Amino acid sequence: MLKTENGESTANGSSATSLYSQSHHKNATGMSFLVTALFIVGETAGGGLIALPSAMVAPGLYYGTMLIVIGAIICMYTGVLLSENWTILQLRYSEYRVHCRKPYPAMGLKAIGPRFSALVSFTLQLTQFGTAVVFILLGAKNCSFLLAAVSVEINFCAMIFIVSLFILPATMLKSPKDFWGAIVMAMITTSMAVGFIIFGALNDKDLCQPIANYPEWNPTKSFMCFGTIMFSLGGHGAFPNIQHDMKEPHRFKLSVILAYTIIAVMYIPVSLTGYYVYGDALTDSVIPSLQNPFIQSAVNILITLHVVLALIIVFNPLNQEIEEFFKLSHDFGPSRIISRSIIMAVVAFTAASVPNFGVLLDLVGSSTITLMALVYPVIFNLFLAASYNLHKDQTLKTDRPLTLLELFIYTPKSKLIMNVFILLIATIGGFYASYTAAVAMTQTEFREPCYIEMVRSWTREGEDPFIPHHGHSKYACCGPFKNITRYENSAEYCVDPLMKASFGGGH
């Protein structure tokens, strides 16, 4: 007697129900496909949005736009692959139809084996940790500028820990379905920021565009924007958690397609407008280039709100991974409060130790985010989909490792070529961009930990180089020498070299 996955017996298997003929799994409650799409936009778009205009400086208008469009298409495609991976797992393994705290590593487990699952867990934790550090830095930076513009000066290091404490209570929630409203609100704030950035740049067009400097295209330097683009588009680390909390998880691919369409509509106009108006006067964030104080403050507020809201989901996989590792209770209680508070403290201390927002963003984007967004989805899908095709007509479910020959035979050749192409892009672009960012972080754009600078400022006269002064907004001024502003006293209103270094030097 043979048994099917559902336990039905048959004499020879000929009348057994096919392994994959069962209907797709559905949750009794969960997010709709539309809410999920907005969730993806809110989780992915935001921090990278303000960095993309400067990412176009090296490749230029034409190639920069092409890179962003191609990046969005590839990340959309790999997001669909992740959706297919999780759908296969829920079809084949009933344990993944209930609450799963580690859906992304589970894909690695079933695709290749337990060792690869452990590698995925480590990469996921590193990715979410790095993203959290970048977002904490961005939130603290924006808050410092907002307060300094109204003559309220708070040390940047102190602001990092203030922002961290403010976000901490929201990180205690269990899973994405518990805070979908916050992430949808993050999507709304990002959309509003897009409008303000475009309007602010166009408002500066007559002043800045005629004297904007556009460097010649350098193919080698164009690789430097790879990390920024991946950080802006690669929210894949949280996708399996989001999909698992949908009412109909198999429809996640539709949410991915809609989400990346919305993201591209946001990113491209901001990138084109920012680069066209300001040229290479851009810093690693477009915000200080906006020379209208009201618009600059509005964008600061909106992006800060996005960062605060998006950090809720960025921390969630990291928190759940660590709680699973230490076998802590899944219920809210002292163990969750203590563990998640410790994680937040470590993130805040790291942010204070590596205060260069732009370079850190590039490093995270080109390394771990590239693995999570491009490499792992492709590898997992090659094995899981080929195994699906190999076993779908068999009545016995087997978990033996797939051979490379079987992978080649049971994968459509067009899909195989596409996936190998993506792996090549990820390998070449990720390695070069990671190396460049690491060199910049340790040498050309190195910054001391902000707490060291804070101690030094106590022992000598002078201003804190991390925050602006004079009770008004500061600007990354226009022109080849970055000294043109709509205000008469450019020395007072333009970002000074130390201040610019805290943003990073631009690409």
pLDDT at 178: 62
pLDDT at 237: 85
The arithmetic mean of pLDDT across residues 275-285, rounded, is 90
Packing angle of the helix pair 60-92, 252-278 (nearest 10 deg): 160
pLDDT digits (tens, 9 = 90+) for 33-70: 888 898 888 888 877 888 899 889 888 888 899 999 99
Mention every residue, 6+ apart, whose C-beta is less than 8 A from residue 198. 269, 270, 273
Confidence class of residue 419 from pLDDT cuts 50, 70 and 90?
very high
Return d(Cα 178, Cα 187) in angstroms, integer. Answer: 17
pLDDT at 494: 81
Is the pLDDT score of 20 beyond 90?
no
pLDDT at 11: 36
The arithmetic mean of pLDDT across residues 12-16, rounded, is 34
Is the pLDDT score of 398 beyond 60?
no
Confidence class of residue 6 from pLDDT cuts 50, 70 and 90?
very low
Is the pLDDT score of 29 beyond 90?
no
The arithmetic mean of pLDDT across residues 207-234, rounded, is 86
For 2, phi and psi rounded to 5 degrees?
Answer: -110, 150
What b/e readout covers 459-473, taking b as 16+ CB neighbours within 10 angstroms? eeeeebbbbbeeeeb
The arithmetic mean of pLDDT across residues 168-178, rounded, is 72
pLDDT at 12: 36
pLDDT at 379: 94
pLDDT at 360: 84
pLDDT at 147: 81
pLDDT at 396: 45
pLDDT digits (tens, 9 = 90+) for 82-93: 999 999 888 888
Task: Extract long-range pairs of 216-221: CB within 8 Å, 24+ residues apart.
Answer: 216/60, 217/58, 217/59, 217/60, 217/63, 218/58, 221/58, 221/59, 221/507
The residue that leads in pLDDT, 492 or 287, is 287
Task: Work out the mean pLDDT of the chain and round it to a whole number.
Answer: 81
**Is the pTM above the cut of 0.75?**
yes
The residue that leads in pLDDT, 186 or 163, is 163
Domains of the chain from N-terminus onward:
27-392+401-503 (1.20.1740.10)
pLDDT at 466: 47
The residue that leads in pLDDT, 145 or 75, is 75
Region of poorest pLDDT, from 100-104, 202-206, 366-370 = 100-104
Q: What 3-state class would DSSP assign to 2? A: strand
